[in-house]
Amino acid sequence: MFLNLRFKSGHGAKPLVQVTIIRLIGYREWTETLGSDREHVIQGIQAQLHRELVNGFSKVNAWAHPLRYDYLFAITNGVNREGLMSVIKDLGEYSPVPLSSGTYASDNPRIAEKEAFKLAMKAGPWGSLIGGVDDGLVAMAHIDLVDSTSSTEWTSSYQLYEHVWNVINQVRLYLAPYGGITLYLGGDNMISIVTPTIREEDLRPLSELINARVGVGIASNGRTAMKLATEALDSLRQQGKYGVLMLMER
């Protein structure tokens, strides 16, 4: 199914996704200074960084998630240079090492991420390189496996965890041609940032393949796209329906 809502007046429909990558410079070297009884310290720092990353970028209507924790990922459509610098500066207060960042926009999220990563690697400590900012569209697919939680009654929590990661790999491979950047959200939920030109018929075979509901949000910023994707997913659940529902920003 497809619900095509009108975009808000004056909104351009450029299919560009803006990605920001934040690099923790010298992170591995820092961990090695902590001695052998260090993992609990590292996990605590990572949890704190995750919280501040999500909170900071959500305040500017962006959406963020850790990548390996020595690299952090954000969808920053509509966020200008000053906004980016402010969030990264605040995040730096919680980082044990200097940060650098890169930002790039492309119609393909994977290309945007790759170029943003290159810029983050080139930038020096506390530096940011921006290859262009964009106020176009971002599409996010929120994927929920159907009835997977109930399977814990006859398997185990760890076997369910293994199953979810196997499915994540299937989703990753399926959505790669659509620029998909697929991330685990927890439980039996995952998110994939995809090209905004993706169609319902592109996603229906994936939904059938992995037995999942897929809610897609298309909006001018990451936070709204995620909200709409979750709203679409909740609508499918409440109606007891399967498949794909796409919502666009009004």
- Specify the CATH number for 138-248; select among 3.20.20.80, 3.30.70.270, 1.20.120.80, 3.40.390.10: 3.30.70.270
Burial 51-75 (b: 16+ CB within 10 A, else e): ebbbebbeebbbbbbbeebbbbbbb
Residue with tokens 């037995």: 211
Give pLDDT tens digits for 102-141: 999 999 999 999 999 999 999 999 999 998 777 789 999 9
Check: CB of residue 221 under 8 Å from CB of residue 78.
yes
- The pTM of the full predicted model, rounded to 2 decimals, is 0.90
Fold match between domain 17-130 and domain 138-248: yes
* 53-82 pLDDT tens trace: 999 999 999 999 999 899 999 999 989 889
Quick one: DSSP state of residue 146? T
Taking CA atoms, 86 is separated from 126, 138, 156, in Å, by: 12, 22, 44
All structural domains of the chain with their residue ranges? 17-130, 138-248
187: left (phi over 0), alpha (psi -120 to 50) or beta: left
Pairing relationship of beta strands 99-106 and 138-145 according to DSSP bridges: unpaired
Per-residue pLDDT of 149-188, as tens digits, reads: 665 567 788 888 888 999 999 999 999 999 999 999 998 8
- Supply the CATH classification number for the domain 17-130: 3.30.70.1230
- Cα separation, 181 vs 108, in Å, equals 10
CA distance 126 to 23: 10
